A and B are shown apart, each in its own frame.
Chain A
Amino acid sequence: MRIGWAKALSFLVMAAVALTVLVALAAPLVLVDTRSTLSTSEEGWTGASEILGIAKGTGARVMVLTSTPTLLLEDEDPGKVLFISLGPQRRYSLTEDLALKKFTERGGRLLVADDEGRTARVAEDHGITYAQGQLYDQDFVGDVNHLKFRVSTAFFDGFVLMNRPASLFFTSGVALVASSSSAWVDQNGNGLNDNLSSGSPEAQGVRYLCVLTEPDLAQTGGGGAVFISDPSMFMNGMLGSEGNREFARALIEFLLPEGGRIVIDDSVHEPPLTSSPLRKAVYGVALFTTDINMKIVVGTLVTLALLSIAYLYNPLERPEHVCLLDRSGVAELAEPELSPDDVREGRKVLLDRVRLSNGLSIEAFSKLSWDDLDRMIGDRALSAFARNGRHKGTLGDIMVEVGRWQRK
């Protein structure tokens, strides 16, 4: 017999599994910002398909990650991987943050371009903080949003153009791109420099737009990261401006270990609209099955679902001929022991026995006196039993005496 609550629980578990699958399918539609994209599969102005071409141009093996950076944990040789994340449209999960941190600790190299602070935790793990607000500087091209910076490093010397960049603080490492000393950050977003005093948050000064966390990365060959506070410089539409394309190529080549691979993270971007719903579904399932936490959740739910199915399973009944002919029944001896309630029936048995032995009718027998009855019985113990039910020994003993009694 199955218990009702247990059955209900089993159904709940299976419902949870079904819900998880649905959530997995719907996840990409909810988790990813659909307003803009720096996806490698997007070939429009805002896409990053040209970066994919630049990466391929390095001769390295290039992979586009569509599930989750957690997979980096499973890479056997992260020291030969350059991981590129451009303008993520969602925050990385804690597991993904951990995976990226472990990745650089194990020798992996990271290139992150973000101006909205979605990779703030990743940056903090590497000693870098995003400054809130758009950076303004005196060297702009066309309008104040497009800033031109000189880059002078070992691997690149030239100008780059950025669009509405943010800025970075860092505690260790080296700045690859810096502003002029008259740059300021519009922290309150009003478009005005509210520099009322030298201690103002919007005070003018040098700001940093690109930071390399490990200055001797090229010499040691170890892991490290480059954070850039403007992802838009890698958009297809911006790569042609100033020396953006060359800078991007030079930076990638600088960061790419010898014989290494390039992984471009597209898991943080919405798939292009031309993708079929099936691809979106697979994308969601992949997301849920590659994240370690999701793996645990999905694995547990699948196990519970299996257990639930096993519980609800009605085992096969082996047909068998059941013969019920060996059944038995009792009635008068259902209670085999004598009880005090049986004294009355015992007296009746004795009196009937005496009456029938003497051939008397009930009427005639009832007219007899107790003395006449005593004489008929001829046994003091039986007479006492007949009179008031008193008896020595058990009721069974007196019944044996009744059975032996015969008319004298």
Chain B
Amino acid sequence: MRNHTLRAMAYAASSLTLLVLSIVLSSELLLVGSLIIGAIMMLSLTTLPGRPKVSAEMDRAQVFEEETVRVDMEIDSRGSWGNIEVFHRLSPNLELNKGSNLALHPPGRSRHSFVVKAPLRGYHPTGPTLVRRWDPLWLWYRESASGETQNLTVFPAMHQGRQGVVKVRQNLHRPGEMKFKRLGSGKEFHSIRDYTTTDPFNTINWKAFARTGKLQVNQYETETVTDVMFFIDARLVGRVGLMTDNPVERSIRLCASLSSSLLSRSNRVGLVVYGRSVNVTKPKGGPGALRSILHILTDITPSGQDTLGSSVTYALPYLSPNCPVLILSSLAEDPTVKDAVKQLVGRGHPTLIVSPSGVDFERMLYSDVSVPKYLLKKLSRENLLMELASMGARVVDWHPEKDIQWALMEVWE
């Protein structure tokens, strides 16, 4: 469809006004002026450039938070008059880092590039490209869309932090991922011994055989692996604070970081995400597990009001006996938290609660303004954490000013 601009309106209005004046005043001069303006408009109308071919390519389709993506566009059109305006649509959750996604080019072949930053995880649509073909006088344009919508997958940022054992409870044995300095079928080398007929060939140490003339085999440390279940609070109430920094995002980033560490050491990780509904991912390990978990975390949208209590009740059949449970929640506006934790602890699940303080995220938004209710909510939250700790769960109160490295240090023993 051909559209016109305010400038075209002005031209048309001038032409018509002159026409009316020429009739009223019987002036041939005004009539000529009116016809000239009309002719200019019509002439400009006929000189729109041809429909261009536009392609837009991202240098990567998957990135982690805070990383950048370069988008290269190529525009090719016929004609020599007019202008071509291209606008590559971007998700509102993406930032322009360098350059602009809006560009103006003369007809012909041209290139355009810009860099996008992805501060927030998610599947962010990019494209199609909006193309406007303009006449030389910017009176008329034709609009069309070119290309398909592509998703830029932004995984939550992962932090290494300090490696160790998940510290679930003070002064108790370690039910989380553990390593024992004893023989087994792990990957860490332990010692060499003489070959027996039941040993697999691939454990034979050929160098030792060459040196001693006796068949000897490598022995490895055994590794005891365990399942770790994450409960992630994805309720709408967890999105207090900024879009990029709120209890839900913090929980997701911590979960991604911890999952990476746990999976790299042959543990199995399961997820329970509750918000609009309860989604359970059974504990899984091995290659691909991390990617699978990252995709689940990437796809989380804070919404709904499901409670921790309902999610624990729903997920209990999926929990391995005595497996550690990590609850990542602000715990705000959830009256079932105490019963849920009591239930988990009572069933023998070592429970670690990492709670980004929602009320503190909100307090930061008010900046220097006095917020009398803050103290009430803060004390209420402290009481709750205290009570949860008294039930046998380990509780980490995560203040917004503390970064994820601090949280990782708190989690790992």
The answer to whether A323 touches B92 (Cβ under 8 A) is yes
Given contacts A306-B16, A342-B373, A353-B379, contact A74 B26 (CB under 8 A): yes
The answer to whether B372 touches A349 (Cβ under 8 A) is no
The answer to whether B92 touches A322 (Cβ under 8 A) is yes
- Among B40-48, B225-233, B263-271, B359-367, the one that faces the other chain is B359-367
User: What chain A residues lie within 8 Å of B13 (beta carbons)?
Assistant: 306, 310
The answer to whether B20 touches A331 (Cβ under 8 A) is no
User: What chain B residues lie within 8 Å of A302 (beta carbons)?
Assistant: 16, 20
Of all chain B residues, the one with the shortest Cβ separation from A325 is: B243
**In A311-345, which residues have CB < 8 Å from any B CB?**
313, 315-316, 319-333, 335-338, 342, 345
The answer to whether B93 touches A333 (Cβ under 8 A) is no
Distance between A68 CB and nearest chain B CB, rounded to angstroms? 12
A69-109 vs B, Cβ < 8 Å mask (1 yes, 0 no):
00100100000000000000000000000000000000000
User: What chain A residues lie within 8 Å of B244 (beta carbons)?
Assistant: 325
Is A400 part of the binding interface, using a Cβ–Cβ cutoff of 8 Å?
yes
Given contacts A323-B92, A349-B376, contact A333 B366 (CB under 8 A): yes
Is B283 part of the binding interface, using a Cβ–Cβ cutoff of 8 Å?
no
Most chain A CB neighbours (cut-off 10 Å) among B12, B23, B95, B241: B23
Q: Tell me the bound Cα distance from A306 to B239 in angstroms.
A: 50
Is A4 part of the binding interface, using a Cβ–Cβ cutoff of 8 Å?
no
Q: Tell me the bound Cα distance from A303 to B13 in angstroms.
A: 9
Given contacts A320-B102, A330-B365, A353-B379, contact A338 B16 (CB under 8 A): no
Q: Tell me the bound Cα distance from A400 to B372 in angstroms.
A: 10
Is A356 part of the binding interface, using a Cβ–Cβ cutoff of 8 Å?
yes
A345-386 vs B, Cβ < 8 Å mask (1 yes, 0 no):
110110011001001000000000000000000000000000
User: What chain A residues lie within 8 Å of B378 (beta carbons)?
Assistant: 403
Most chain A CB neighbours (cut-off 10 Å) among B246, B369, B371: B371
Is B314 part of the binding interface, using a Cβ–Cβ cutoff of 8 Å?
no
Of all chain A residues, the one with the shortest Cβ separation from B132 is: A319
Most chain A CB neighbours (cut-off 10 Å) among B120, B240, B244: B240
The answer to whether B243 touches A326 (Cβ under 8 A) is yes
User: What chain B residues lie within 8 Å of A309 (beta carbons)?
Assistant: 9
The answer to whether A323 touches B369 (Cβ under 8 A) is no
Distance between A298 CB and nearest chain B CB, rounded to angstroms? 7
Is A46 part of the binding interface, using a Cβ–Cβ cutoff of 8 Å?
no
Is B332 part of the binding interface, using a Cβ–Cβ cutoff of 8 Å?
yes
The answer to whether B240 touches A332 (Cβ under 8 A) is yes
Of the residues B9, B380, B386, contact of A313 by C-beta under 8 Å: B9
Of the residues B102, B358, B373, contact of A321 by C-beta under 8 Å: B102
Q: Tell me the bound Cα distance from A388 to B394 in angstroms.
A: 35
Q: Tell me the bound Cα distance from A353 to B375 in angstroms.
A: 14
Of the residues B20, B94, B242, B380, contact of A323 by C-beta under 8 Å: B94
The answer to whether B333 touches A313 (Cβ under 8 A) is no
The answer to whether A333 touches B379 (Cβ under 8 A) is no
User: What chain A residues lie within 8 Å of B85 (beta carbons)?
Assistant: 319
Of the residues A290, A328, A337, contact of B241 by C-beta under 8 Å: A328
Most chain B CB neighbours (cut-off 10 Å) among A310, A319, A333, A346: A333
Is B320 part of the binding interface, using a Cβ–Cβ cutoff of 8 Å?
no
Interface size on B, residues (CB 8 A): 60
The answer to whether A345 touches B242 (Cβ under 8 A) is no
Is B301 part of the binding interface, using a Cβ–Cβ cutoff of 8 Å?
no
A154-188 vs B, Cβ < 8 Å mask (1 yes, 0 no):
00000000000000000000000000000000000
Of all chain B residues, the one with the shortest Cβ separation from A346 is: B376
Q: Tell me the bound Cα distance from A348 to B335 in angstroms.
A: 14
**In B87-128, which residues have CB < 8 Å from any A CB?**
87, 90, 92-96, 100-102, 119-120
Of the residues A310, A319, A352, A395, contact of B9 by C-beta under 8 Å: A310
Is A61 part of the binding interface, using a Cβ–Cβ cutoff of 8 Å?
no
User: What chain A residues lie within 8 Å of B379 (beta carbons)?
Assistant: 349, 353, 399, 402-403
The answer to whether B102 touches A399 (Cβ under 8 A) is no
Is B390 part of the binding interface, using a Cβ–Cβ cutoff of 8 Å?
yes
The answer to whether A336 touches B371 (Cβ under 8 A) is yes
The answer to whether B376 touches A342 (Cβ under 8 A) is yes
Is B3 part of the binding interface, using a Cβ–Cβ cutoff of 8 Å?
yes
Distance between B303 CB and nearest chain A CB, rounded to angstroms? 12
Is A299 part of the binding interface, using a Cβ–Cβ cutoff of 8 Å?
yes
The answer to whether A331 touches B333 (Cβ under 8 A) is yes
Of all chain B residues, the one with the shortest Cβ separation from A301 is: B20
Question: In which size bucket is the chain A interface?
Answer: 35 or more
Q: Tell me the bound Cα distance from A333 to B243 in angstroms.
A: 17
Is B210 part of the binding interface, using a Cβ–Cβ cutoff of 8 Å?
no
User: What chain B residues lie within 8 Å of A342 (beta carbons)?
Assistant: 373, 376
The answer to whether B239 touches A329 (Cβ under 8 A) is yes
Of all chain B residues, the one with the shortest Cβ separation from A357 is: B386
User: What chain B residues lie within 8 Å of A330 (beta carbons)?
Assistant: 240, 362, 365
User: What chain B residues lie within 8 Å of A333 (beta carbons)?
Assistant: 359, 362-363, 366, 371, 373-374, 377
Q: Tell me the bound Cα distance from A310 to B9 in angstroms.
A: 7
The answer to whether A331 touches B332 (Cβ under 8 A) is yes
The answer to whether A331 touches B358 (Cβ under 8 A) is yes
Distance between B382 CB and nearest chain A CB, rounded to angstroms? 8
Of all chain A residues, the one with the shortest Cβ separation from B381 is: A332
Distance between B149 CB and nearest chain A CB, rounded to angstroms? 15
The answer to whether B92 touches A345 (Cβ under 8 A) is no
**In B318-346, which residues have CB < 8 Å from any A CB?**
332-333
Is B383 part of the binding interface, using a Cβ–Cβ cutoff of 8 Å?
yes
B260-280 vs A, Cβ < 8 Å mask (1 yes, 0 no):
000000000000000000000
User: What chain A residues lie within 8 Å of B386 (beta carbons)?
Assistant: 356
Of the residues A289, A324, A335, contact of B373 by C-beta under 8 Å: A335
The answer to whether B387 touches A326 (Cβ under 8 A) is no
The answer to whether A325 touches B95 (Cβ under 8 A) is yes
Q: Tell me the bound Cα distance from A237 to B24 in angstroms.
A: 40
The answer to whether A289 touches B23 (Cβ under 8 A) is yes
The answer to whether B366 touches A359 (Cβ under 8 A) is no
User: What chain B residues lie within 8 Å of A290 (beta carbons)?
Assistant: 23
Distance between B23 CB and nearest chain A CB, rounded to angstroms? 5
Is B289 part of the binding interface, using a Cβ–Cβ cutoff of 8 Å?
no
Q: Tell me the bound Cα distance from A353 to B13 in angstroms.
A: 76
Is A56 part of the binding interface, using a Cβ–Cβ cutoff of 8 Å?
no
Of all chain A residues, the one with the shortest Cβ separation from B19 is: A302
Q: Tell me the bound Cα distance from A310 to B365 in angstroms.
A: 43
Q: Tell me the bound Cα distance from A309 to B17 in angstroms.
A: 14
Is A279 part of the binding interface, using a Cβ–Cβ cutoff of 8 Å?
no
A288-300 vs B, Cβ < 8 Å mask (1 yes, 0 no):
0110000100110
Q: Which are the 8 A-B pairs with shortest beta-carbon distances?
A: A319-B87, A324-B92, A352-B383, A396-B372, A333-B362, A336-B371, A338-B372, A289-B23
- Give 7 pairs: A residue, B residue, CB < 8 Å, sorted on A: A306-B12, A324-B243, A328-B243, A331-B362, A332-B373, A336-B372, A352-B383
Which residues of B come within 8 Å of A, CB atoms?
Answer: 3, 5-6, 9, 12-13, 16-17, 20, 23-24, 26, 85, 87, 90, 92-96, 100-102, 119-120, 130, 141, 237, 239-244, 246, 332-333, 358-359, 362-363, 365-366, 369-380, 382-383, 386-387, 390
Question: Can you add 8 more A-B contacts, CB < 8 Å, to A329-B241, A332-B333, A399-B372?
Answer: A306-B12, A316-B5, A324-B243, A328-B365, A331-B362, A333-B363, A335-B373, A352-B387
